[in-house]
Amino acid sequence: MLKTRFTEMMGIDHPIVQGGMQWVATAELASAVSNGGGLGVITALTQPDPAALSAEIARCRSMTDKPFAVNLTILPSLRPIPHKDYAQAIVDAGVGIVETAGSNPAEFIGMFKQAGIKVIHKCTAVRHALTAQRLGVDVISIDGFECAGHVGEDDVTNQILVPLAVDALDIPVIASGGFGNGRQLAMALALGAEGINMGTRFMATAEAPIHANVKQRIVESGERDTLLILRPLRNTSRVIRNAVSEKVVAKEREMGQDVKIEDLMDLVSGARGRGVYTEGDPDSGLWTAGMVAGLIEDVPTCAALIAGIVAEAEDVIRRRLPALVA
């Protein structure tokens, strides 16, 4: 068993966190990850309103007695989102762990800490991590360029970003983006991280509430089968390479810096992306996936996946690495 400051703080068995993925991180997946010894995460904004989030938290509690977290992503949206109401629902439900992401979480840290909630903040730059530490968060999840979804604008990979964050911060750091096996967990720990966060890898599991066709597409994909979109808008996101994402990239190239989100709305619609997961046509909309897809070859249960990753990491740490020292 791998023990770190993070596992001790969160009361979990293994230093593995499930990503808070929109439309994917529901009670089914979060409870399966937590039951497997990791930290499962429910995504607040997957639920249509705060009342639905409260019900989803209750549903997750009925499926696991282990710790789980709720992700609250704070990003600008064409449709106003009542972030404060979602945050209050989290507090009222007695959730013990929250993951904030997106914009500066200052507005919500006080209410979470007053309620005794441990806060993980996910960000893509050390400067943002330092700000979050000053605000009082307990853990930083640092997101490297390899990740799915919002990659930031600095293009720094985890090999550089993780040790920089570890050296700059006093609180535990979780490495996020591009992780999917035990060798990588051992690498993250060697770089000074206290655990890893995995999104795409957990999409390709038996309990992930998405269509089997999408899971199979991840298995079939290589490390070059993702695209970066929305870069001219400084909202860069990594998505799977498919018919829709290629159209987005083509339109961005055609319009250059003049492109606006309104020019892309018919392609980047969230409802269209959600339909991919429910209907099972991987080419019908945008959906996020990381470069780690190139390492994914199967669709195990969450428990089997976590156990295999931990066993491989322990083997690397105990057997392979010591054998190299003369």
Lowest-confidence segment of 167-176, 250-259, 288-297 by average pLDDT: 250-259
Cite the DSSP H helix spans in 93-135.
106-114, 126-135
Instruction: Give the pLDDT score at 169.
Output: 98
77: pLDDT strictly greater than 90: no
Instruction: Give the pLDDT score at 1.
Output: 85
pLDDT band at residue 206 using 50, 70 and 90 as cut-offs:
very high
Across the range 88-106, mean pLDDT stands at: 96
CATH number at residue 116: 3.20.20.70
Residue 273 or residue 282, greater confidence: 282
- If asked whether residues 173 and 245 sit together in one domain, one would say no
66: pLDDT strictly greater than 90: yes
What is the average pLDDT value for the chain, to the nearest integer?
Answer: 96
Instruction: Give the pLDDT score at 270.
Output: 78
269: pLDDT strictly greater than 90: no
Number of domains in the chain: 2
Provide the 3-class DSSP secondary structure of residue 41: strand
**Residue 86 to residues 30, 44, 59, 71, 91: CA-CA distances in angstroms?**
18, 7, 17, 10, 9
Percent of residues, the chain, with pLDDT higher than 70: 100
- If asked whether residues 198 and 254 sit together in one domain, one would say no
Decide if 235 is inside a domain: yes
Provide the 3-class DSSP secondary structure of residue 143: strand
- If asked whether residues 83 and 170 sit together in one domain, one would say yes
Instruction: Give the pLDDT score at 85.
Output: 97
Decide if 216 is inside a domain: no
Residues for the chain: how many in total? 326
Instruction: Give the pLDDT score at 79.
Output: 78
255: pLDDT strictly greater than 80: yes
> pLDDT tens for residues 10-34?
999 999 999 999 999 999 999 999 9
- If asked whether residues 161 and 100 sit together in one domain, one would say yes
Structural domain boundaries enclosing 86: 5-211+298-324
**Parallel, antiparallel or unpaired: strands 226-229 and 237-240:** antiparallel
- If asked whether residues 98 and 199 sit together in one domain, one would say yes
- If asked whether residues 144 and 101 sit together in one domain, one would say yes
Please give the distance of CA 271 from its chain centroid, rounded to a whole number: 20
- If asked whether residues 95 and 169 sit together in one domain, one would say yes
For the question of whether the overall pTM of this predicted structure is more than 0.85, the answer is yes
- If asked whether residues 192 and 311 sit together in one domain, one would say yes
Instruction: Give the pLDDT score at 272.
Output: 84
